[in-house]
Amino acid sequence: MRRRNYLLSGVSRGLGYRIAERLLAAGHGVYGFSRTRSDSVAELLEQKPEQFFFAEIDLEKVDELEERVFREFLPSGTIIDGLVNNAALAYDDLATNMDLVALESMFRVNVTAPMALTRGCIRNFILHNTPGSLVHLSSVCVYTGFKGLSFYASTKGALEAYSKNVAREWGSKGIRSNSVAAGFMETDMTGVLDAETKDRIFRRTAIKGPVDPDQVAQTVGFLLSDDSKAITGETIRVDNGSL
């Protein structure tokens, strides 16, 4: 049976690293990329040299993604079975303080780049007649408003809408597209929040605490697998019951 290969953005730390670990442990191949190479990535390259492959790629340079990812990074003839659009840039501020440069940069990384990666993967799926799975990481803030997160939430809401329509467009080819709306986790992205803000966020959940990234990674793995063959166009919330 052929090993499955998955393309994963934002692999160097946090949730992306957890997703890579889970896929590698299941015996799959992971082609991961991030803007920078971390110590965690170096360890995976040493531990899983025949399964894990890495490249430094800046998602903000959207016009270079087709060349960098699908021609330079992936060996010719590589069959991709799934894509995880995990990488994201956070720009948080009040709506009245909008910085257009920062906002446009975030939209390139969080929306336009995932669209470009999805385009490349769908072409790969069709070329190899693969019933591929697309998984896009969203956020609970799309559903439960938080002060200062209107800009970030808007990018994730756009990604969810895109995912649902891609599912409709390509379902007849066996291609599925889903989103995972993660709750607040203890990651580098949320590490900038002070203790009071975190406590306020966690009190709004039914479980009263941060989401375990492994739970999100497990959900992503499920959506990539054949166990979820009947699920497409959906958003699954892994958020400790954010209310």
Residues annotated as part of the active site: 152
The two structure tokens encoding residue 242: 């954010």
Nearest residue to 102 (alpha-carbon basis) of 155, 56, 173: 155
Buried b (16+ CB within 10 A) or exposed e, 81-109: bbbbbbbbbbbbeeeeeeeeeebeebbbb
The two structure tokens encoding residue 50: 């025949």
Handedness of CA 12, 132, 1, 216 (dihedral sign): positive
CA distances from 56 to 10, 73, 227, 239 (A): 10, 10, 32, 30
Query: What stretch of H or E contains 155?
Result: helix 150-170
Q: How many other C-beta atoms lie within 10 A of the C-beta of residue 177?
A: 26
